[in-house]
Structure formats: C-alpha cells, structure tokens
C-alpha cells in the first residue's frame, strides 16, 4: 500500500510551524543560557588545558574577589609553571557603555595569551577589544574617556592597539595593572585573579595546593538541596541591607540571574507542550478519513500506531534542525547588534551540537507523547 | 436587576463565538501557559529592578549596569516566546475555526452578514486573550514567587519578592492580545472566505 500518496501533506503545515517555533525557542533559550554561563565562567577555562586561574575562594565568580599579589611571586618558582599573569578586572564606563578594564603586566600577559604586545612607551595606554572597538567606532591613536564604576574617577587613555580575534578580550579594555588597581579601588598588593600557564607534563597540582589553601566554606550543591529538603535547618534569607560584604551581594545577584536563565529551558519545553499537542490533534483530525480508509483496507491497529509514530517522529526530528537554525540565526543577528550582553560581554551562540540535540530531542519527545495521548482517545470514523 | 445582566442575544453571541467548550478551554490553557512563562520572567525582572544601587556602595553603578543587561535579555527572550505564542494561537484557532464552521455557515444561510461572522470571531479572540492574560499572569506570578522563595532559602539569596506592577500587567495584556490577534488572523481570513 502506498500510504504517503493517500495523505494530505498540507494538513501537516500547522504542526510543522509549531514544531519549528518550539525548536527555535528551545535553541534560543539554550544559547542564552550557555552563553550567559560561559561569560561568567569562561575566564576559568582553557581549551588547551594549560591554563589555571586562581581567584578568591570566597568568591563565586572570578570577577568579584581579590587575592594577594604575593601569590604570583610564589607561583613563579613552582616547577612546570611557564608564565604567571596577575590581573585586575575593573568595571568601567567607556563612551556610555559599561565594560571591564583588565589591568595587566604586558609581558606576562602576552605569554599567557600567546600574543605580541608592542607598547610605544606611552604612559596612559589602553588596548581595545575588536568587538568593543567596532561598537564604539574606535581606532588606533584615538583618546578614550574612561569612567570608573567603583571609583568615581574619569581618565583619558590613548588607544595603542586593537585586540583582534574572538574570545572574552574582544569585549574588554586592557591597560596597566596599576591603573586597573586604581579603578577597582585595590591596594598595590591586591589583584582580582592570577592566570598561570603551565607545562601539563612537568606541572604537579599538589605543588599548587601547598601554596593555595583550599577553603571549606563553600557549600556544595548537594548540601544546598539537603538544606531545602530538611525544613528544620532552613533559615530565613537575610534582607539586603543587613549583609555586610558588598562583593557577596554582587555574587548573589549574579547567581540569581544564572538560576533564572537555567530554569528557562525546561519551562519553555513544558509551556510549549500544549501547543504541540494541539498541532498533533489537528493533524489526526485531518487524517481521520484516510486512516479509517486504511483500516478498512486491512491495516491493523498496531500497524497504524507504529506507522503514525514513525511518521510523527520523522517530522519532529526534521523540524528540529530547521528550528535550531532559526534560533541560531536570530541569536547571531541580535548578538551582532549588541542587544545580547551580560557581564559587559557580548553573548555569542555556541556552535556545539548540544543545542541541536536538545531542541530535537525536546520537540520529538513532546510530539510523541502528544501523539500517544491522542491515540488513546482516537476514534475512527 | 435584569437590566444589569447581559441580554439574551449577547449571551447567545458569546455562546456561538466560543464554540466547543473543551476546545476553547484547551486554547485558553495553551496561551495561558505561555503568558505565565513571560509573566514569571517579567516578575523576576521587576524584582531585579527593585534592587537599590545605594545598598551596594561603590558597586552600585556596576550592579545597575548588570541589572540593565539582564533586564534587556529577558525582554529579547520574551519576544521569542511571543512568536511561539502566536503559532500556538494559530494552530488552536485553526481547529476552533473548523469546529464552528458548520454553525457559522448555518448563520450565513439564515441571513447573517459576513461582518457579523467576523465580529463573532473577534469577540472570541478578545475573550480568549483576556482570559489567557488573567489566568497566565496569575499562574506565572504565583509560580515565580514559590520558585524564588524556595531558591532563596536553598541558596540564601537576596530576600525580595517577584512582583508585577500595573505597567507590567498592561504590557502583558498588550503582549497577549497582540499575539492572540496575530495568530488568529489567518484562521479568520480562512473562515471569511468559507
């Protein structure tokens, strides 16, 4: 029996539109989630596995804590360490746009980043990331007015170069360590983080543990859930004004936003399930006469169900990539126009297969569950 | 007393425009879930906006800029969900249009004008939009408050309650009605051709 010829394929259009919209919403939310987390946590990662980032153990995000500069000196003597770059991240405002100014020691920073930095002996110099420079319309030789967000101070810096290429630096300003410390209101012996380039063969992590004491104050995720499950140990959260450390407040704000964004993917899938259910019901209604005809021609109930499951699975799996592509292009379009930013960095869509699989699996599973539920109450003409 | 009650023709119009009760309830629930999703995100955004930069001392300007970015992300994301709502309404209305087609054709045969049929469809979209808005923001706000309270206890986060103010509710109503009407246009045209 040539079943596909009997079908009215036009009746599938509404379902396909819903599946593509659902898949696009899922992948867009996935990109938003992963890019947001990456922006906060990427300073800690290195694709080559040769970079270690040290930041305050009491700090949840590397951007907010402070550590001693003396640690950098100690690290230089550790076996297997190739370069040590102490850095300060100072939030600033440049031409009305918030950004991070990274205070560095140019020589060590160049080794860590594997780049060449030529400074023409200027005292008040600044390097501008390519994306930020493009948005601000800045060129080499221009003078930028930079206002500190923590320290109320405005300074003029000459642009001595543009940092090309992707990555976090493309949204940042890079200047001297002393300037970073000044704009972040730190003393001369404090920095935000220390990045260490190591030789993976010669370096032993135990040597680092001797220098850097590990903190036990951090609560694991399991402990947090245990607190939630045992009401006796639950304590009321404190009002904002009673918390003393401003840095911890910043971390809590960032943490809350991360939770908010993560929960969105699941909620999108759940919320769009009824729309998909309606689409499936519409197609089954449209196919009712054809299916009854097929049953009269000898198709068994089981054969019909298997055939429908395969058909809907195929349609939903094919709609997944179309929705993924829509979500990706939309995200990229908005990102290129600077409309998607977090922690003063432009969010970029991840090119991994995770988003594609997530959107395909989510859409296919909702479709198949909807079909199964619909088939239970399905009555032939 | 009878003056204050809707007239019989008015009730009949509502009855005809809504069509199959089960189908209409499913439409309301579909749109409500999506409205709830956006209203929950909006209430989180409002909660973030409640944070006073002066609490943060020197970090105030940083926090303000960060919250503006988060708020902007929620706004952009809510437009994506708007498109999803639009398609959900489109499919739901296609089904509804099909189910009421027979009744409306009978009305046309009995002398009802095309504009009467369109008015009945528009009446349905208004009722659908308003009910979904009411149900959606109530579910969304309640869920946001429950989730945030539990999260705040577990993570010892800042003590603030997600809220929706009047401006948010109006924005949400416009958001819902525009999605419902945009999604309902094609089935409406399809019906008016019939």
Is residue B133's pLDDT more than 60? Answer: yes
Least CA distance to B157: which residue of chain A?
Answer: A252
Q: Of the candidates A223, A241, A259, which is a domain's last residue?
A: A241
Check CB contact under 8 Å for B73 and A263.
Answer: no
A272 and B76 within 8 Å at the Cβ level: the answer is no
Same domain, A207 and A83: yes
In tens, the pLDDT along A175-206 reads 999 999 999 888 888 898 888 887 877 777 67
How far is the CA of B38 from the CAs of B80, B134, B137, in angstroms?
Answer: 10, 13, 8
Whether B54 has its CB under 8 Å from any CB of chain A: the answer is no
Domain-terminating residue out of A190, A221, A241? A241
| CB atoms B59 and A341 under 8 Å | no
Closest CA to B87 of A314, A278, A322: A278
- A242, closest residue in chain B (CA to CA): B55
Chain B, 61-120: which have a CB under 8 Å from a chain A CB?
61-63, 65-67, 69-70, 72-73, 76-77, 80-81, 83-84, 86-88, 90-92, 94-95, 98
Q: What domain range includes position B178?
A: 2-193
CA distance A180 to A193: 12
Is A1 a residue whose pLDDT tops 70? no
pLDDT bucket at B123, cuts 50 / 70 / 90: confident
Task: List beta partners, residue A101.
Answer: A90, A173
- Compare all CA atoms of chain B with the CA of A250 and give the residue at the minimum distance: B63
Strands A51-55, A173-176: pairing is unpaired
Closest by CA to B14, choosing from B134, B128, B98, is: B128
Same domain, A135 and A197: yes
Please tell me the least confidently modeled range out of A305-309, B17-21, B52-56.
B52-56
- A227 and A255 within one domain: no
Residues of B in contact with A275 (CB under 8 A): 30, 34, 84, 87-88, 91-92
**3-class SS at A102?**
strand
Q: Judge whether B121 and B14 are in contact, CB under 8 Å.
A: no
Same domain, A219 and A276: no
Pick from B29, B67, B72: CB nearest A274? B29
C-alpha A373, offset from chain centre: 35
pTM: 0.74
For residue B158, the chain A residue with the least C-alpha distance is A240
Name the minimum distance, in Å, from the CA of A70 to any CA of chain B: 26
DSSP letter for A238, please: P
Question: How does residue A333 score in pLDDT terms, banded at 50, 70 and 90?
Answer: very high
Q: pLDDT (tens digit, 9 = 90+) per residue, B165-192?
A: 888 899 889 988 888 888 887 776 666 6
- Minimum CA–CA partner of A334 in chain B: B76
What ipTM did this prediction achieve?
0.75
Query: pLDDT of A24-36, one tens digit each?
Result: 988 888 888 878 7
**The dihedral of CA B184, B190, A279, B124: what is its sign?**
positive
Residues paired with A144 in a beta bridge: A157
Window from A153-167, B92-106, B148-162, B173-187 with minimum mean pLDDT = B148-162
pLDDT of amino acid A19 = 92
Interface of B with A in 155-174 (CB under 8 A): 155-160
Sequence-distant (6+) residues with CB within 8 A of A167 are none
- Residue A159 CB contacts under 8 Å (≥ 6 apart), including other chains: A126, A127, A128, A133, A138, A139, A140, A141, A142, A143, A144
Domain co-membership, A206 together with A100: yes
Nearest-CB residue to A237 (from B76, B86, B152): B152
- Per the structure, the count of domains in chain B is 1
Please return the burial class of A103, using the count of CB atoms within 10 Å of its CB with bins 0-12, 13-18 and 19+. buried
Partnered with residue A159 across adjacent β-strands are: A126
Q: Tell whether the torsion through CA atoms of B45, B50, B51 and B54 is positive or negative.
A: positive
> Residues A172, A235: one domain?
yes
Per cent of chain B over pLDDT 70 is 82
pLDDT in tens, A48-100: 667 777 777 666 666 777 888 888 888 888 888 888 899 998 888 888 888 88
Same domain, A237 and A261: no
Please check whether residues A313 and A269 belong to one and the same domain.
yes
- Whether residue A14 and residue B62 make contact (CB cut-off 8 A), yes or no, is no
Q: Please give the tally of structural domains in chain A.
A: 2
Cβ-defined contact of A270 to B98 (cutoff 8 Å) = no
Query: Among A175, A208, A241, where does a domain finish?
Result: A241
Give B48's Cβ-side CA count (13 Å radius).
Answer: 28
Helix A13-41 with A301-336: angle, nearest 10 deg: 50
Token pair of A294 as six digits: 């097929």
Contact residues, chain A, for B82 at CB < 8 Å: none
* Boundaries of domain holding A265: 3-40+249-375
Judge: B77–A252 Cβ closer than 8 Å, yes or no. Answer: no
């Amino acid at each position: 029996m040539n079943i596909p010829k009997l079908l009215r394929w036009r009746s599938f259009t509404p379902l396909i539109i819903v599946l593509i919209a659902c898949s696009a919403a899922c992948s867009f939310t996935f990109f938003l989630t992963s890019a947001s987390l990456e922006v906060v946590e990427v300073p800690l990662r290195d694709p080559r596995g040769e970079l270690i980032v040290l930041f305050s153990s009491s700090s949840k995000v590397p951007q907010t804590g402070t550590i001693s500069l003396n640690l950098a000196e100690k690290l230089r003597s550790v076996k297997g360490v190739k370069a040590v770059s102490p850095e300060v991240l100072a939030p600033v405002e440049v031409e009305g746009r918030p950004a991070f100014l990274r205070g560095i020691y140019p020589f060590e920073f160049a080794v860590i980043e594997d780049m060449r930095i030529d400074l023409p002996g200027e005292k008040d110099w600044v390097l501008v990331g390519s994306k930020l420079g493009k948005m601000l319309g800045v060129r080499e030789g221009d003078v930028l007015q930079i206002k500190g967000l923590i320290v109320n101070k405005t300074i003029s810096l000459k642009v001595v170069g543009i940092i090309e290429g992707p990555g976090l630096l493309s949204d940042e300003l890079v200047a001297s360590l002393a300037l970073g410390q000044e704009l972040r209101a730190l003393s001369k012996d404090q920095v935000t983080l220390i990045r260490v380039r190591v030789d993976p063969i010669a370096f032993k992590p135990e040597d680092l543990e001797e220098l850097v004491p590990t903190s036990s104050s951090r609560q694991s995720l399991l402990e947090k859930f245990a607190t939630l499950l045992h009401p006796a140990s639950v304590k009321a959260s404190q009002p904002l004004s009673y918390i003393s450390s401003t840095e911890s407040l910043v971390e809590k704000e960032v943490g809350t936003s991360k939770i908010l964004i993560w929960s969105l993917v699941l909620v999108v899938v759940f919320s769009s399930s009824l729309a998909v259910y309606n689409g499936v019901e519409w197609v089954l209604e449209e196919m009712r006469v054809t299916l009854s005809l097929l049953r009269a021609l000898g198709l068994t109930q089981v054969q019909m169900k298997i055939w429908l499951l395969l058909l809907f699975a195929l349609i939903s799996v094919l709609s997944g990539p179309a929705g993924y592509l829509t979500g990706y292009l939309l995200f990229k379009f908005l990102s290129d126009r600077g409309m998607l930013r977090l922690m003063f960095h432009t969010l970029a869509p991840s090119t991994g297969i995770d988003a594609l699989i997530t959107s395909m699996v989510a859409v296919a599973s909702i479709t198949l569950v909807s079909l199964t539920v619909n088939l239970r109450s399905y009555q032939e003409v | 007393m009878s003056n204050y009650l809707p007239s019989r023709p008015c009730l009949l119009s509502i009855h005809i425009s809504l069509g199959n009760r089960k189908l209409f309830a499913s439409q309301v629930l579909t749109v409500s879930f999506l409205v709830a999703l956006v209203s929950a995100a909006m209430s989180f955004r409002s909660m973030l906006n409640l944070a006073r930069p002066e609490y943060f001392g020197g970090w105030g300007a940083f926090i303000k800029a960060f919250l503006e970015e988060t708020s902007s992300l929620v706004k952009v994301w809510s437009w994506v969900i708007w498109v999803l709502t639009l398609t959900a309404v489109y499919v739901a209305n296609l089904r509804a249009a099909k189910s009421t087609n027979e009744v409306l054709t009978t009305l046309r045969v009995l002398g009802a004008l095309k504009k009467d049929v369109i008015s009945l469809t528009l009446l349905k979209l208004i009722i659908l939009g308003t009910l979904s808005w009411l149900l959606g923001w109530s579910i969304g706000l309640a869920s946001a408050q429950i989730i945030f309270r539990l999260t705040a206890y577990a993570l010892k986060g800042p003590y603030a309650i997600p809220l929706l103010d009047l401006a948010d509710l109006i924005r949400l109503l416009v958001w819902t009605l525009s999605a419902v009407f945009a999604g309902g246009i094609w089935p409406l045209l399809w019906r008016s051709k019939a």
